[in-house]
Structure 1
Amino acid sequence: MGSNTDEVDDLSERHENLSPADRVVVSYPEDLSDWGRFQVEKDAFVAYLRKTKTDRVRQGDVWEEFVGVGCCGSTLDVPLRVEDIQGGETFGPETEVEWSVREACGIEGGWQVQSQGGPNEV
């Protein structure tokens, strides 16, 4: 069998071969609730992004990220989008993450308790 160049290309984009960015601007939709914004912008979630986004990061990349579980087991997944990346190609331990807000996308969650009427209430 011949070699699979797609597999080689995927492996070549792993973090150890890429320089970490100085700064990455990531956006979330404007209809994300205050509770959802708090979850996304806190230090622990930024640390999570730095540890898990080990492939090449490009402007326009979109990730659907889990940010919390409601009291009844329903989850809130938020579509995050890379708006800009400066000084490198991936997240690193020192990469500054800046948040921005983009157009609403109809994000919905399923619980009422944490967000005074639901995750869409701001």
Structure 2
Amino acid sequence: MAQKTDRGRADEREEGNETAQERADRIVVSYPEDLSDWGRFQVEKPSFVAFLLKTRDRASEGDVWEEFVDVGCCGSTLDVPLRVERIEGGSVIDEETDLTYEVREACGIEGSWQVQSEGGPKQA
């Protein structure tokens, strides 16, 4: 029984080393320049970054993640296209991965948290 337990620990160490070698140390994700201040606030919140790290297993440069952003009390919904710009290390995402943002060119995104106002997102 002890041998089985020891072998199991050796397997865990080997798997742990493999995962550590494949882990992305840092991922740089961009959002469009025309994302509103409210939208930037939403995607840069620590809770949203934690959500991304928990819901993504892997990343590759050029991946685009269409992410729903909180609507506030009664505003319109907003999907933000986040693009993976660079990855340092491997492609596996875990809680140790550092996710940072940069701004890219505008893409015509419409949205802000201006509840029921003319300046808010246009409905198609």
What TM-score do you get using the length of structure 1 for normalisation?
0.73
Percent identity of equivalent pairs: 71
CA distance in 1, matches of 2:24, 2:81: 21
How large is the Cα RMSD of the aligned pairs?
A: 2.6
Shift, 1:88, TM fit: 1.5
Shift, 1:73, TM fit: 5.4
Change (3 A) 1:39 1:111: closer
What TM-score do you get using the length of structure 2 for normalisation?
0.72
> For the pair shown, which has the larger CA radius of gyration, 1 or 2?
2
Secondary structure of 1:39's aligned partner: helix
What is the aligned length? Answer: 103
CA distance in 1, matches of 2:49, 2:109: 21
- 1:93 aligned partner: 95
CA distance in 1, matches of 2:102, 2:26: 13
- 2:50 aligned partner: 47
Question: Which residues of structure 2 form unaligned runs of 5+?
Answer: 1-15
Name the aligned partner's letter for residue 47 of structure 1: A
- 1:20 aligned partner: 23
- 1:68 aligned partner: 70
Query: For 1:9-67, what per-residue CA distance to the aligned partner results, in whole angstroms no more than 9, with x for missing partners?
Result: xxxxxxx985321000000000000000000011001100110011x310000010001
The answer to whether residue 2 in structure 2 is matched with residue 37 in structure 1 is no
Shift, 1:82, TM fit: 0.2
Change (3 A) 1:25 1:114: farther
* Structure with more of its chain in helix, by fraction: 2
